[in-house]
Chain A
Amino acid sequence: MNDINDFCYKCYVVFKYTFFEIIKSKVLMNVFLLGLGLLLICYIAYSFTYGVPERVVLDVGLGMLSLSSVGMAIFFGVGLISKEIENRTIYMILSRPISRKAFLLGRIMGMVGVLILNILILSVLTLVLYVFLGGSIQSLILISIFFSIIEAIIVLLIVVFFSLITNPTLSVIYTVVVYIIGHSISDTMINGFAKKSVIISSILNVYSVIFPNFNKLNLKDLILYKQYLPFTTFCGITTYGLVYMLFLIFITSIIFERKNLD
């Protein structure tokens, strides 16, 4: 087995058992309960809506699946590596012929698998209800779900990154802060006060280069008003998400490679 094949195989092994471990921890049960809650909330929203109930259902459904996957990414992601170190399970793994990079990637991929599963289950429930109420499925809805996956993965990578350099509580707080700012940075940048001040606008510009701008991944307004998303914009946003993920994986793996596991 050459080095690349071996690396991929070890990633796959870690991915497989990380995925099993999380799935067996009854997370799916929680997802189904969340799904039921989602249906209930959508039904309530539908009952109180006049005119375009299916759009409200879609808005609530997509919003909830995005929030739930981000929540899941934060609360599972924070212990993804740090718990392994704390519990010394990592010693049994890294004392075998596996590189730290392969282990890190495998763990992240396992968690990404769970996030995708969560998003798919909630998406199916939302879309079934949406179609049942007379809505028609457009490609924008599927793109929005795809971007929710990208958003959840970026949040996961951020929390894993923080968990390697600080304690779990601070990691969660920092990630939530980055997530909230990431959603409001675009609006803040076009705010009149921020535009007038050179210092503030420079800070915001620097921030938006370094930290993720989650607003780019939010297509809910576009879907609700049936606006068209040009293919180039789709490619641009996807590339932005993928590059950001690669950047986070790169710096996280460098930190993990050098970290003293004591």
Chain B
Amino acid sequence: MINFIEISKKFKTDFWTQYFWALENVSFEIAEGHIIGFLGANGAGKTTLIKILMGLIKTSSGRVEFSTKLGKNQKEVFSNMGLLPERPYFYPHLTGNEFIYYLGSLNNVSKIDLKQRINYWAERFKITHALERKLKTYSKGMLQRLGFISTIIHNPKMVILDEPLSGLDPIGRKEIKDSIVEINKEGRTVFFSSHIVPDVEEICKRVVFLEKGTLLYDGQIDHLIEKNMKPNYQIKYYANDEIITQEIPIVEKEEFLKKIINNNQKIISVEKLRPSLEEILYNIKTK
């Protein structure tokens, strides 16, 4: 759907300093219909890449190619995309309704459709009561929810979310994550940028991992985990009224289990050790 081809971007903080590379030869593809996690530590270059994608800044080299399914020209492409930037600031004196009508009107959504969609999503995020209030009275979580609504109000084919869960309480995080999965099931492609690995692991099948402006991994999360599986088993059992957890190499598993049974101890679980995505990415990063 979107192809990043050898994207590089250099910045200069001021006239006297040297250039630094925020992105170096980053190439990957956002495939249609998936939720793609875009991971990287703070300052890895995620937001810079999103800004390049939306034409807000220019590349130093490389290009972004859009599939014709998104549109034939920039106007059509942007009609089919929705962006929720990181920590967005909203017009404090507009009401929630006015803000969404403003953005919806820019996407040529009719007033009737806007009303229906606002009602649905506001109810879903429990902010219906606040829609006529000025945005300066909203809490951070309410603003984030409103931002999410405004991002999808025009039913885009592709949704780009830059740290959409930041500043949300656990309930808010779950609501947004569920909504991301829901809009994906409806057929929308989601590009989900975050520096919180478990969030990405929870809802994405594919991940793009950026570190200091360089692409370190692009592929399925399952493949990455399978590849990094430890050759160990974790065995939990009761012994002397205590739960004991032990890590055993595969070759010693059978013998160890026999020993437990012979000692009349009760086995609780036998699991192959599965590293978390966070551990794997940390290892990739430090290699």
Contacts and interface: CB of A to CB of B under 8 A. Distances in A.
A224 interface: no
Contacts of B134: 24
Interface in B47-87: 48, 51, 54-58, 75-76, 78-79, 81-87
Contact of A1 (B11, B55, B76, B108): B108
A95 interface: yes
Contacts of A88: 85-89
Nearest to A103: B106
Given A20-B98, A91-B56, A260-B57, A96 B103 contact: yes
B91 A21 contact: yes
A96 B88 contact: no
A261 B56 contact: yes
Contacts of A13: 102, 105-106
Nearest to B74: A97
Nearest to B84: A92
Nearest to A91: B85
B93 interface: yes
Contacts of B147: 92
A93 interface: yes
A247 interface: no
A10 B150 CA distance: 17
B228 interface: no
B94 to A, nearest CB: 6
B93 A96 contact: no
B79 A97 contact: yes
Interface in A189-219: none
A254 to B, nearest CB: 15
Interface residues of B, number: 39
B27 interface: no
Contacts of B125: none
Given A17-B94, A20-B94, A94 B89 contact: no
Nearest to B79: A97
A6 B106 CA distance: 10
A89 interface: yes
B90 interface: yes
B93 A94 contact: no
Given A1-B108, A262-B56, A91 B91 contact: no
A87 interface: yes
A45 interface: no
Contacts of B85: 88, 91-92
B58 A21 contact: no
A97 B51 contact: no
Nearest to A3: B75
Interface in B1-48: 11, 48
Contacts of B92: 25
A89 B91 CA distance: 8
A89 B48 CA distance: 16
Interface of A: 1, 6, 9-10, 13-14, 17, 20-21, 24-25, 87-98, 260-262
25 contacts: A1-B108, A17-B91, A17-B94, A17-B98, A21-B91, A24-B94, A25-B92, A88-B85, A89-B91, A91-B83, A92-B85, A92-B88, A92-B147, A93-B103, A93-B106, A94-B54, A94-B56, A95-B81, A95-B83, A96-B107, A97-B106, A97-B107, A98-B106, A262-B11, A262-B51
